[in-house]
Structure 1
Amino acid sequence: MIELGKYNLLEVARSTPHGLYLEDKEGNDVLLPGKFIPEGTAVGDYLEVYIYRDNEERLVATTEEPKITLYEFASLKVSDVSEHGAFVDYGVGKDLFIPFREQKVAMEVDKYYLVYMYLDGQTDRLAGSTKIEQFLDLVDVEEDVVEVGDEVLVTVWGRSELGTNVIVNNRYKGLIYANELFENLKVGMTRAAYIHRVREDGKLDIRLEKDGYAKVEDNAQKILNLLKKRDGYLLLTDKSSPELIKKQLGMSKKTFKKSIGALYKQKRISLEDRGIRLLE
């Protein structure tokens, strides 16, 4: 079955003046236009292609890399607004349509918004929504395999009074508390993080760093890497301000002190009056 809005691994079945026809195992085919054919491709080869509908609503394949695929989230730029809705550029030949009913706020040309791609059941067309929360789940502690300490992928969703809301593993609601955030995270940014707590209400408390000694090890390595870039010396000490440490290293003063303490015990650094020096 050829799946709309997703990557498909298909076999090159035949060549035509317009391009290559690719087939799935059931014999369903789709055209890959000539401009997207990789050099050296031959009948019998397999290609991984993205499937969407062209301006005439026909299924078409492309080797272009979309910025978002079906049932995913991404920060996308508005290319146009019409009387029916907005269009966002998602990296393929046809922009993604966002109906007015699926816009949390009125979208404006050239601005970026966090968008979820879904399949419209009535029209069988790809569409987008900025009403993010309706597509997120709460964790079912009895069914979902989510544990404290797990490394996860988070996408920044927005801000709240408590901190920064994130989408966890493209599915769950998560929160990074403001007093535990030492980096400037922008909406739409995706990065690795860790589950700190699974709450009774099904939401997840998230931290950008590992808990415990594993966190110290990671941040100690971060300090070592920066020392090497700075000719073996950093103008930071355990008396430096939390703001300066956060600006230079993206970590709390408490974590910094633990990390340089570990490095000092390992005889990797020396502690001087005005900074720390690499001993290598």
Structure 2
Amino acid sequence: MYKKTKREPQKVATAATGNLQAGMTLEMKVARKTEIGYFLRAGDDEVFLHEKEAHERLHLDDEVEVFLYHDHENRLAATMDMPYVGMGEYGWLEVVDISPRMGVFLDNGIKKDLLLFVDDLPKLSDEWPRPRDQILVTLKQDKLGRLLAKPVTENEVTKIAAMAGAEMLNKQVEGTVYKVIAAGAFLLTEDEHILFIHRDEMVGRLRLGQTVTSRISYVREDGRLNGSMKERKEVQYGEDADKLLRYLINRDGAMPYTDSTEPDIIREKFQMSKSSFKRALGKLMKERRVEQVDGWTKIVRHEED
């Protein structure tokens, strides 16, 4: 998976005023002590470090490296815990909680979880991530300067992705969904290849942050991959054909569905795509086990039956 680069602390000039913002990592000096923590100073700016956010007892004029964020009362505060993902970085963060109204909360290595806002999530709740899923994100600020998670952009994925070679064909790979669209889902594999799985090649709906195993069905010229979570076609043909045959037997050998039936009806009745239905039906017809007559598919009755 994508590895973050080492982050260097941001230095604040001693003459700076009013420049402290959430998301900064910087060195600050202990200016004052209180009963519950410390006021840290950089130039003319001060920020509070609660004793629970300090890794050790501090003294006046000690210099410490801190990360700035807004606490639960929306005050700019400091912590000596370092985030897994900082400003300008991308990394995989684990989902720890879900709010249907607000979005999902991610563990970024500090005591306050990071919100991935509902507007940045798929519209269908079935495609939302679940606890323990991993989301590839960076940091951004809202209008009030508070930190939010921002999903990876396609441009960023393209920068970090590796080119896949022809040897990947038919291999089984593990990948995590970073983007869901109407036609399917984009994943980033363990070896950082971009993998697309069309909805017709899924086994159930995929969700953002879900990690799945799939077979590489096609290696594109641009080094991207197409995948399938289903069995190879020669195996799937047989399974789908058996499914149709069992359905026909349970209906006394006839059904009002043919290769002209609408795709939505096929998917509803048989949980397979129109193309899979036609392939399975074609297999049965080639074997002279079924025939199509007047808009019906019927089992062929042989003399010995």
Q: TM-score, normalised by structure 1?
A: 0.49
Bigger-Rg structure (1/2):
2
